[in-house]
Chains A and B, each alone.
Chain A
Amino acid sequence: MKAATMNAARTLVAAAAVSLGLPAGLVSQAVVRTRPPTLGAPPALVVPRARVARLPNGLQLVVVEMHKVPVVDITLLVHAGSVRDPNDLPGLATFTAGMLDQGAGRRSAPDIADETAFLGAQLSTRAAAEWASVSLHVPKRQLTRALDLMADVALRPTFPDSEIARQRSQRRAGILQLRDRPTAQAPIAFNAIVYGALHPYGWPADGNDAAAAALDRERVAQFYTTYYRPNGARMLVVGDITLAEARRLITARFGAWRRGDMPPLPTPEPPRSGPRTIYLVDKPDAAQSVIRIGHLGVARNTPDYQALQVLNTILGGSFTSRLNQNLRETHGYTYGANSAFVARRLAGPFFAAASVQTAKTDSSLIEFMRELRKIRDSIVPGEEVAKARSYITLGLPGEFETTSGTAARFSELLENDLPLDYYRSYIARIRAVTPADVRRVARRYIQPDHFAIVVVGDRNQIEAGLRALNEGPISIRDLWGQEMR
């Protein structure tokens, strides 16, 4: 075992010790810690297979079998997201989704809550930007009763006036409480500034005070009748169930769902980016400033998607990313900094963000700008690109560990019309991303001259410092991102 003290021999000796099962004492004598152990080949990615069926009414059914634990995860996706909000009523899509389980079929709102809880199920109804969803997570043995409940909620909501009034009042209280939550304010103001009033991605998902007051049964029922249709809808079933069983259960409950004339999805013009400007939203006495920097990003179907994933992992998508290392681990200005390209049917925003100590707001902005310019101006070393590629690809098996994790991955494919065998070629496409690709997409998709820099913080303490940076004019905004008068 003496040879083990030579570094070169360390790995060999370790392997021998493992295979021969040598006693611990001998092995520990041999330990040389100065270099990390050599790792074996990473495991292959095994993605559970998705199988597809289509109901006569157009509803697409996708089933992924996972039999480790007797639970089932079901997601119904409907083209009824916030992009469907009418101009005069932002928040209608999320409100309608929230109303689905407030009375359905012969059940009252409390009936639905009681039955869901009694079955040990989790039932949720919500709307995101593009899609509304009804999702169910339930132990297998309660599946049929829970599916009856889900079908009532999705297909037969009653929208009682009393429940509309109750939920409207809850929503207004929630909007009032936005004033307390700078981390919730920053994205609302940022989206309003980046997208403006003509693009639904710029509207607050839960509306504003005036819109909340205007919500009524007629608008909700009309929205539901128009957009909650099987044409274009997708039903994803993941868990301890077979395709045949899923098809039978879903057809029995959703087979009679009637098609409708679905208006086309809106395709608004992408907004034009203005010159770099600092938008300050005052939050008196705030202990931190919430910073969000960015502009219009990309759509999910961009051919540059994989290169952008690698870029973002390097910039702000992992713990060792440049933004987090700089602002947190080098300077200690924040608990965490990150970045994202939000990719949807239409171009979502690109942003970099952090909550930073109030007294370091200007210093933090200097570091943000330094990193955001540097990743465009100088090529990312090959080793850093390789680490990001590995982080994305080698971590992928863990994404398919649970039914809900698997459902999230397949849901993303369904929401974006991506092929269900997407992951078959995915790893190869990530591995093909080169430092030159990273540089190209950084230069194309990160435009510091057009940044909207939103800061929610204590204006008295931070405005002078921000002004002195000379990174652009300062515009004072309210919590909706609108100009203050």
Chain B
Amino acid sequence: MSTATRAAPAARLYRRTALAVGLALLAFAAPGRLGAQALHVPYTTFTLPNGLKVIVHQDRSVPIVVVNTWFHVGSGDEHVGRTGFAHLFEHIMFMGSQHVPTGEFDRQLEAAGADNNGSTTEDRTNYYEQGPVNALALMLWLDSDRMGFLLPEITAPKVDLQRGVVQNERRQRVDNQPYGLAEENILKRLYPESHPYNWPVIGSMTDLQAATIDDVRNFFRTYYAPNNATIAIAGDIRPADARRLVERWFGDIPRGPAFTRNTPPAVRLDHTSYQTLEDHVQLPRVYNAWHTVRVFHQDDAPLQVLASILAGGRSSRLYKRLVYRLELATQVVAYHDALRMDGSFRLFATAKPGHTLSELQRVIDEEIRSLADSGPTAREVQRVQNQTEAQFLDNMETDLGKADQLNNYDYFAGTPDYFQQDLERYRRVTRADVQRVARQYLAQSSRVVLSVVPQGKTEQAVTEGVRP
């Protein structure tokens, strides 16, 4: 999942505001003591007459509260010629609404000791506030005003200003980053032009420039209605109080029109494609991408486990061979990116000085072949399961993580408290599962191979047909 974010969370105290830090989205949490017993995040839920669904989780450990709102729209709902629009719209949501003058959204929250941000992915857009528990009413007032009363305040200068900010976000995250252009080049080859995963969440400079104020109005009317949103509230609050406040501030927002989401047909590659991109980099890097399965598909967890066994940290197979033993690479990374409509398995490695990408690719293919032929060891699977369990525990620590995950499960798994079932998916993965997905989705499937090389050094690229 690629994420574009409204702002680097401003640092408190003297920490420098780290740029381009997104919301940690792999977040899981539960109250009380955890251990052998099941992960459980108790919640109450209700839906207003206008269709707004609300999930409330009480955690009394720290006197803070989080309001986390998901609108079920992302770059996957965009159209050719308007790429990046869902994220540009996210920025506009902070520019004031009918009863909240421009700038007041942030000013009032900071004056109450609260932080806020938003982020956009292919499948959803989220917004959150977090702060002292007494600020809950303020958070809901602000959120309800922009959900119900945004359009009267939308003006061309506001759109132009955030267009400029987003274009600078793209420069910072993509154009001024080494290898920053790799992702959009991979997507272009992984998906046909008609598929909305064909472009990155941040969009293109040309399309961002083309967005109009009418686009903003239409997008808001279609997607920013209460019946296309879910709010998760977590923290040291009483559920009944939260409910009354939500009813008060969101009750009179009208339901929006029903719309149908077009789901493009499944995509498969019929051949492996090789591409080379010259960039301002010192060392070449090879990217591999395969089509896989959507999020929560039965093969999603085995593919996550496979990614970790292949290249998840210093105990992974490819790290040990490419980086440690052979010293061909400075790093190797793999992950399974499972989205609403499709997933992809990604693997990239950066060469050490003096080595070509074909040398790296040969070893990568050998290790994929080995897992497809013989599967992982029991200890390797157990290692990933232990790490996953530890990660679930860590993500139990924050209200923000829990709130975002309640929304995530609600949207993609159909129920908010899916923590234990989610963990069970990983616990059930067997050696045979990992072997099968390695064979089915990687070894026996076509892929996109992208070589990013220093300017003028195309001879360092992977040459077609490298196979063990």
Give A residues with C-beta under 8 Å from B: 14, 17-18, 21, 24-25, 27-29, 31, 33-34, 36-37, 39-44, 46, 67-71, 109-110, 113-114, 116-121, 137-141, 166, 169-170, 172-174, 176-177, 179-183, 284-288, 309, 312-313, 316-321, 324-325, 328-336, 338, 340-343, 353, 355-357, 386-387, 390-404
Contacts and interface: CB of A to CB of B under 8 A. Distances in A.
Contacts of A403: 397
A61 B352 CA distance: 42
Nearest to B9: A319
B251 A138 contact: no
B7 interface: yes
Contacts of A343: 14
Given A37-B137, A39-B138, A391-B113, A317 B280 contact: no
Given A355-B176, A402-B397, A42 B171 contact: no
A69 B383 contact: no
B34 A113 contact: no
Interface string B388-421: 0111011011110000000000000000000000
Please give me the 8 A-B residue pairs with the lowest Cβ-Cβ distance, nearest first: A394-B113, A332-B164, A120-B390, A43-B63, A28-B251, A113-B314, A180-B178, A24-B247
Contacts of A27: 244, 247-248, 251
Contact of A117 (B106, B383, B396): B383
Contact of A40 (B12, B134, B391): B134
Interface string B96-121: 00110001001110111111000000
B171 A355 contact: yes
Given A317-B17, A334-B168, A117 B12 contact: no
Interface string B1-37: 0000001101111111101100000000001111100
A68 B17 CA distance: 29
B411 to A, nearest CB: 24
B151 interface: no
A27 B115 CA distance: 28
A316 B15 CA distance: 11
B386 A169 contact: no
A69 B241 contact: no
B271 interface: no
A139 B390 contact: yes
22 contacts: A24-B49, A28-B247, A33-B141, A39-B135, A39-B138, A69-B394, A70-B34, A70-B393, A118-B382, A173-B352, A177-B282, A180-B282, A288-B175, A312-B14, A320-B106, A332-B163, A335-B8, A335-B169, A335-B171, A353-B16, A390-B112, A401-B61
B353 interface: yes
Interface in B355-386: 379, 382-383, 386
Nearest to A353: B16
Nearest to A25: B251
Q: Identify which of B17, B20, B313, B398 gathers the most chain A CB atoms within 10 Å of its CB.
A: B17
A29 to B, nearest CB: 8
Nearest to A341: B14
B107 A110 contact: no
B229 to A, nearest CB: 17
Given A391-B113, A398-B132, A401-B61, 6 more contacts: A34-B99, A113-B314, A319-B7, A340-B16, A390-B111, A392-B13
Contacts of B353: 172-173, 176
A71 B393 CA distance: 7
Contacts of A67: 33
B14 A37 contact: no
A139 B393 contact: yes
Size category of the binding interface on chain B: 35 or more
A457 to B, nearest CB: 9
Contacts of A139: 389-390, 393
A39 B245 CA distance: 12
A320 B103 contact: yes
B209 interface: no
Given A24-B48, A117-B383, A392-B12, A69 B138 contact: no
Contacts of B249: 31
B281 interface: yes
Contact of B133 (A43, A177, A401): A43
Q: Which of A67, A316, A329, A342 has the most CB of B within 10 A?
A: A329
B330 interface: yes
B315 interface: yes
A335 B283 contact: no
A450 to B, nearest CB: 21
Contact of A328 (B14, B61, B165, B236): B165
Nearest to A19: B244
Contacts of A46: 62-63
Contacts of B245: 18
Contact of A176 (B103, B247, B283): B283
Contacts of A309: 13-14
Given A39-B135, A39-B138, A319 B251 contact: no
Interface of B: 7-8, 10-17, 19-20, 31-35, 48-49, 61-64, 98-99, 103, 106-108, 110-115, 130-135, 137-138, 141-142, 144-145, 149, 160-165, 167-169, 171-172, 175-176, 178, 236, 240-241, 244-245, 247-249, 251-252, 280-283, 313-315, 320, 324, 327, 330, 352-353, 379, 382-383, 386-387, 389-391, 393-394, 396-399
Contacts of B314: 109-110, 113, 117
A70 B397 contact: no
Which residue among A37, A121, A317 has the maximum number of chain B CB atoms within 10 Å of its CB? A37
Given A43-B63, A319-B7, A390-B113, A342 B396 contact: no
A36 B434 CA distance: 54
A478 B330 CA distance: 25
A138 to B, nearest CB: 7
A403 B397 CA distance: 8
A21 to B, nearest CB: 7
Contacts of B280: 180, 284-285
A321 B134 CA distance: 23
Given A27-B248, A120-B386, A398-B131, A342 B14 contact: yes
Contact of A387 (B107, B330, B383): B107
Contacts of B61: 68, 401
Nearest to A300: B14
Contacts of A334: 165, 168, 172
Given A24-B48, A341-B14, A288 B62 contact: no
A68 B397 contact: yes
Given A24-B247, A173-B330, A340-B14, A33 B149 contact: yes
A328 B6 CA distance: 12
A467 B311 CA distance: 48
A328 to B, nearest CB: 6
Contact of B10 (A33, A44, A285, A321): A321
B33 A335 contact: no
Contacts of B167: 357
Contacts of B162: 332
Contacts of B110: 318-320, 387, 390-391
A479 B240 CA distance: 59
Contacts of A121: 390
Contacts of B390: 71, 120-121, 138-139
A144 to B, nearest CB: 15
Contacts of A179: 282
Nearest to B324: A110
Give the residue among A284, A331, A340 with the most B Cβ atoms within 10 A: A340
B313 A113 contact: yes
Contacts of A182: 176
Contacts of B282: 176-177, 179-180
A438 to B, nearest CB: 16
A397 B324 CA distance: 43
Given A34-B99, A318-B10, A336-B7, A287 B175 contact: yes
Nearest to B95: A329
A58 to B, nearest CB: 29
A173 B329 CA distance: 10
